[in-house]
Amino acid sequence: MLLQLVWYALKECPREILKRDIYVVCNDTLVENPKIVTYTEDILKKIEKAAVEQGLPIRVVRTSPKLEDTFWVNLIGKGYPAPNNAFRWCTERLKISPTTEFIKNKISEVGQAIILLGTRKEESAARSASITNHTKEGTRLRKHILPNAFVFSPIQDVKVTELWQYLNQVKSPWGADNKQLNALYRNANGGDCPLVIDDTTPSCGNSRFGCWVCTVVKKDKSMEALILNGEEWMEPLVEIRDLLADHRNDPEWRQPTRRDGTDGTGPYWPHKRAEILERLLKAQKEIRATDETINLINYQELVAIQVTWYRDSIFNVSVAEIYNRVNGTEYSDNDFKDQMVFERQLLTEACTERPDDVKMIEELLALQQTKILMVKARGLSNDLENYLDDVVKKEKKEMPHAH
């Protein structure tokens, strides 16, 4: 509704005053409900095409999290537990940071930005209070947490019935079918999912369409409703989502020390991370039998997971082995990390008298490659020293006691 209002307003303006681009920002967390991903991408393409044809300065921008911030790299790679209200590590990484980074870049280019949001007071009591508290009487704009950025919410007083009445009666200027959108919402039987730009914006988890992996809520009612309305292919997604929710605090799944080495419930055990990855790849294979375009995890994330495992000195599980087991392929570890074939050949030749050293040196090289791939050279010496300390301690334990 907001975009339609802006679009029609721009068409009324003389072309000579339209000197600044207007950006339609769409954030993809990479774990969005696949049904929404398909619909959204179709709409974004229509918007891009119509804007050019109608001569409007409207640009579509797709934002997504950095590779090291994606959901699966953190959960399967680093072993982060599934998010909950006490440790909701996902919102900042997946939603806030990518959008904020884009806004900051625009501010640095043109000096300031006005962010138009389709938030409405009727969505919830918390939303109404937030809008009221941040709005000054007699002004349309309110300050954003970013410097030189302002927020404008033109439809904040619109009721939900008015919203759908408008969409059903006013034609989409970019050629979309608003009745299709209405059917999508009706089949999922829920509320709204806002653009997240700061910590005061509620998570999509309690709203209409959120991330399909969301464990902040007890049940994903929208996804379950879609399944009941004929989208049975989504059942594997619910199963994985419930698996993450059920075992989040399972002591058999969690290590007794945190990632920083302190005592306390820590990340998932490596074999549990491997189990989640295998379940995810099986679900992806099953769903692709229905729609081969659906991607639950991408190749770059698989590489980053393997790299992260190397950095954590996890060498007893392999992304390649898991992938091959699920898909019947014959990938090697080298397909999920930088190629080190030549180095391996040299190592084997150099360590003919001490062949056991090959494995240790390869693992040290893997730690170095981790820093290169993840663009984080800082801390490499500490990682190498910690690994060597572990090797020395292990050898001391295995050595017979001297008298």
The answer to whether 58 touches 51, Cβ cutoff 8 Å, is yes
The mean of the pLDDT values for the chain is 84
The answer to whether 266 touches 256, Cβ cutoff 8 Å, is yes
Asked if the model's pLDDT at residue 280 lies above 80, the reply is yes
The residue among 351 and 282 whose pLDDT is bigger is 282
Asked if the model's pLDDT at residue 227 lies above 80, the reply is yes
Alpha helices by DSSP H, listed for 229-379, are 235-246, 270-288, 299-311, 319-327, 341-350, 356-373
What would the two tokens of residue 2 be? 């907001």
**Model pTM score:** 0.77
| Phi and psi, residue 119, nearest 5° | -70, 150
Percent of the chain having pLDDT more than 90?
52
What would the two tokens of residue 266 be? 């820590």
Q: How far apart are CA 242 and CA 139, in angstroms?
A: 46
Residues 88-107: pLDDT tens digits?
A: 999 999 999 999 999 999 99
Using a CB cutoff of 8 Å and minimum separation of 24, what contacts does 157-160 make? 157/120, 157/121, 158/1, 158/120, 158/122, 159/120, 159/122, 160/120, 160/122
Say what the pLDDT of residue 204 is: 37
Q: How far apart are CA 359 and CA 368, in angstroms?
A: 14
The answer to whether 66 touches 198, Cβ cutoff 8 Å, is no
What would the two tokens of residue 287 be? 């769903």
Which range scores top for mean pLDDT: 160-164, 169-173, 188-192, 220-224?
169-173
Residue 344: band (very low, low, confident or very high) from pLDDT cuts 50, 70, 90: low
Say what the pLDDT of residue 342 is: 43
CA 349 remoteness from chain centre: 43
Say what the pLDDT of residue 390 is: 76
Say what the pLDDT of residue 399 is: 64
Domains along the chain? 2-208 (3.40.50), 341-398 (no CATH)
Asked if the model's pLDDT at residue 136 lies above 70, the reply is no
Q: How far apart are CA 340 and CA 337, in angstroms?
A: 9
Q: How far apart are CA 166 and CA 6, in angstroms?
A: 14
Say what the pLDDT of residue 214 is: 92
Asked if the model's pLDDT at residue 357 lies above 90, the reply is no
Tokens 């970013």 belong to 146
Say what the pLDDT of residue 380 is: 63
Asked if the model's pLDDT at residue 351 lies above 90, the reply is no
Q: How far apart are CA 166 and CA 186, in angstroms?
A: 16
Asked if the model's pLDDT at residue 192 lies above 60, the reply is no
Say what the pLDDT of residue 121 is: 83
Environment class of residue 20 by beta-carbon count within 10 Å: exposed (0-12), middle (13-18) or buried (19+)?
exposed
Alpha helices by DSSP H, listed for 135-216, are 160-169, 178-188
Say which range, 135-144, 150-159, 214-223, 237-246, has the weakest mean pLDDT.
135-144
Tokens 């003389």 belong to 14
Asked if the model's pLDDT at residue 248 lies above 50, the reply is yes
The answer to whether 74 touches 211, Cβ cutoff 8 Å, is no
Bridge partners (DSSP) of residue 379 are none
Q: Could you tell me the end-to-end alpha-carbon distance of the chain, in angstroms, rounded to an integer?
A: 82
Q: Which of 357, 358, 383, 359 is nearest to 369 (CA)?
A: 383
From the CB of residue 138, how many other CB atoms can be counted at a distance below 10 Å? 5
| Phi and psi, residue 27, nearest 5° | -95, 125
Residue 312: band (very low, low, confident or very high) from pLDDT cuts 50, 70, 90: confident
Asked if the model's pLDDT at residue 360 lies above 50, the reply is yes
Residue 128: band (very low, low, confident or very high) from pLDDT cuts 50, 70, 90: low
The residue among 204 and 268 whose pLDDT is bigger is 268
Say which range, 68-72, 225-229, 334-338, has the weakest mean pLDDT.
334-338
Which range scores top for mean pLDDT: 121-135, 185-199, 209-223, 378-392?
209-223
Residues 31-54: pLDDT tens digits?
A: 999 988 999 999 999 999 999 999
The residue among 324 and 340 whose pLDDT is bigger is 324
- 337: amino acid identity, one letter: K
